[in-house]
Structure 1
Amino acid sequence: MCFAGWRCLHWCRNLGRRTLLCLVFALVIATFVLTSYVLSGGKQDHTFHFFPSKLKEPNLSFKKSQEYKQDKTDQTIMTNITTPHLQTSSSGHGLLWVSRRIPDIEDLRQFEPHIFSIIPQEFLQFSRNPCWYQEYKGERDPYSNNAYLLYAKRFRTIFEEMRQSFWKRLQAIGGHHYRLRCLPYFYIIGQPKCGTTDLYNRLLVHPSVRFSAIKEPQWWTRKRVGILRQKETPKSRFPLENYLDLFDLAAQEIQGLHSEMKRKEDGNIDSPIIGEASASTMWDNDAWIYIYDNVTNTEPPHLTLDFIHVLQPNAKFIVMLRDPVERLYSDYLYFSVANKSVEDFHDKVNDSVQMFESCLRTSPLRSCVYNTTLNNLLPLLSTWELTSAKSVKYFTM
């Protein structure tokens, strides 16, 4: 130790005064940096680039069509767009919601002409469900090409049951055959881990309630555009007829009750009501980027619920909600596959919030909420959840 100290002292004496002063100055700067880091709690501002170089698919890129102006009087950033705009505080702490423009029927018809050609504007009066008769010109096996059956073989038993009673319920009128088609009377919607499955199981045993053959068809949000699973790119579309097939058992029962009513000349029919339990119908609009020309806009011109509202103006919705923090942690415990811990949950939430905050610095709120690429890259939260959390101040922004 003495020898090492003597060598160090001898080395310092041989250094020039200028060099020694530089070393002392460097040590002082390093001390200040370390002290600042400790006092700030080690927080860093992670800048998030929404479209990394590895994501070069043309349909995942946005061109900003908005121009932003800084209002010097109230320090508010306003988006200069003709359709609904949103005001966001420049400090990132305040949100002012502005209603968006509701699309009219012709706008929706332009994007989904087949759906509007199948679903009528008026439904039969003898049932509370939205039902109508449709001419059947199909094959001997009405379900042979149903995409739900081809996609998942576990549904074979369900479709076999529908197949057995299908031909008995066809109505023969003037040499043509007609089948009763129905849409759900009500929808169970909500975020994951909010009790939608529990409510579904309870209503499933109710004597006056019938559900689709599959609990969550996910047709309006995903299968309609060919998305099989969340965050996947579209493949082959599931036609509307495939979705309607899932309600055939209920439709056949309603048709049988209607025939019995006419035979007894009784004007009253106590038909069951039909439900559907795709929870994502409330929040999943990620498919818009594959449907619409996202080059000229940064948010979807139409939402899933716009179509349901126009096609089923009297549809009922049972919305299942839960405390956002409890719901998110339950979601994390259920869907995460490994390394579950409170610390990991905390880190993922912080990273998600910082990424969303980074988006808000350069883009309006709606653009960030409907940014499919950003939504797919978030470690834990979705953009929809982050918007809800920000608006109710569950997180410190």
Structure 2
Amino acid sequence: MSIYLDYNASAPVDLRVLDVIVEVYKNKIGNADSRTHNYGENARSVVENARKQVACLLNVSSDEVFFTSGATESNNIAIQGLKDYAESTGKKHIITTAIEHKAVLETVKYLNQEGFDVEIISPDRSGRVSADSILNKVHDDTLLVSVMHVNNETGIIQPVKEIGEYLDTKGVLFHIDATQSCGKLVDEIRDLKYNMLSFSAHKLMGPQGVGVLVLKKKKYKLPPVKGIMFGGQQEHGIRPGTIPVALVAGCGKACELAEREYKENTLKGHQIKIKILKELDSSGIEFSINGDPDYCVGSTLNICMPGVSSEALMITAKEYCGVSNGSACTSKNYAPSYVLAAMGIPVDQIECSIRISWGPDSDVTEVISNIHGFLNIAKQIRS
């Protein structure tokens, strides 16, 4: 039976999270912003409890946590929401990287058309953008630097700590897309300096359709971000619209579980990676790892198997594994991965590359058994 190994696209909902979501749907009816009856008050208490759970995981204040529909919306608010501030200060220079999620790249592309000066920095073959290559571009009119913590295709950890510490001394706003690191690199995130941080609940075994934008206060003031939609004053106007109470509760529960279990989850993730690599070594098939393994999270592996078309392999071996060859947001586009291309990997190697990603609930024995069958199919395709 096939096993799901595409957690970086969307992780399964933890059943304990699902129980919370169902309980809220069944028993906590009402709008969290209704103030005339107990139903609204009860719904609001669920939301505020979830806000505290998120804040606890990230070691921030509850009033710095804003709920959104997901990281895509959070990224858009964090970047587009600075337009008025940019116009008033004359700071319209933005720096980001060529391996960001499309939610960042397409947003800065839009701002470029609106008159902003956008610089996009590429990584080297390690999959890592050097801190100096970004910081050397910072100048007096730099408004924002936006860098993801962990790349969704390669699992490579970016130098956000070094970048954040430097930018903090320069007064330049720093946004981190922590979609692939939230709930995983918990200690690291807590130690980062940033102004804005985004993530989606469904990447850490929470529900789809809800995410978070963290706006960290400095001298008691939030970053100069404004909402990009018009409507009510929900989430203090940062994100208008009725708060999905059950989904928010699920997000909070996922964060609570991640905080409690991230150390054992990290250990298990690394153990699975070691066993997958041993299976690859013993299979006799030629392979290489895309990105520097020394800077990779323990739950992701992006590999190239020369002569094995990733498209053919995923279709032929779907009875064993559900894997991918790129970001889910571009899965309908059969062009080679823009992330691997930005790393300087040749097209023929990109077309033979796949991403394998797993999570805390992945069964080690089941993973290795299915990877074994998967690699047997790969060898048949190559021959």
Give the TM-score normalised by structure 2. Answer: 0.26
Which structure has more RCO (C-alpha within 8 Å, separation ≥ 6)? 2
Give the TM-score normalised by structure 1. Answer: 0.25
